[in-house]
Amino acid sequence: MDMKKINWFPGHMVKTRREITANLKLVDAVIEIRDARIVASSQNPEIDKIVGDKPRIILLNKADMAEDQVTRRWKKSLENENTLVLEVNALTGKGLNAIKPTLNELLKDKIARNKERGIVNYTIRAMVVGIPNVGKSSFINRMAKNAIAKVGNRPGVTKNKQWIKTKEGIELLDTPGILWPKFEEETSLNLAFTGAIKDEIMDTETLALRLIERLSHHYKERLIERYALEEFSEDPLENMDNIARKRGCIIKGGEIDYMRVAVMILDEFRSAKLGKISLEWPEVSDD
**Strands 83-87, 56-61: parallel, antiparallel or unpaired by DSSP?**
parallel
Residues linked to residue 164 through DSSP beta bridges, in sequence order:
172
> How far apart are alpha carbons 200 and 84 in whole angstroms?
35
Cross-sheet strand order for the sheet of 170-174: 83-87, 56-61, 29-35, 124-130, 170-174, 162-165
Q: Is 134 annotated as a binding residue?
A: yes
Q: Is 177 annotated as a binding residue?
A: yes
Q: Is 285 annotated as a binding residue?
A: no
> How far apart are alpha carbons 131 and 146 in whole angstroms?
22
Q: Is 112 annotated as a binding residue?
A: no
Q: Is 88 annotated as a binding residue?
A: no
Using an 8 Å Cβ cutoff, are 265 and 271 in contact?
no
Q: Is 138 annotated as a binding residue?
A: yes
Q: Does the CA dihedral 180-185-186-188 come out positive or negative?
A: positive
Q: Is 137 annotated as a binding residue?
A: yes
Residue partners of 113: CB distance under 8 A and separation at least 6: none
Q: Is 64 annotated as a binding residue?
A: yes
Q: Is 95 annotated as a binding residue?
A: no
Q: Is 52 annotated as a binding residue?
A: no
Cβ atoms within 10 Å, residue 142: 20
Q: Which residues belong to the annotated binding site for GTP?
A: 61-64, 133-138, 177
Q: Which residues belong to the annotated binding site?
A: 61-64, 133-138, 177
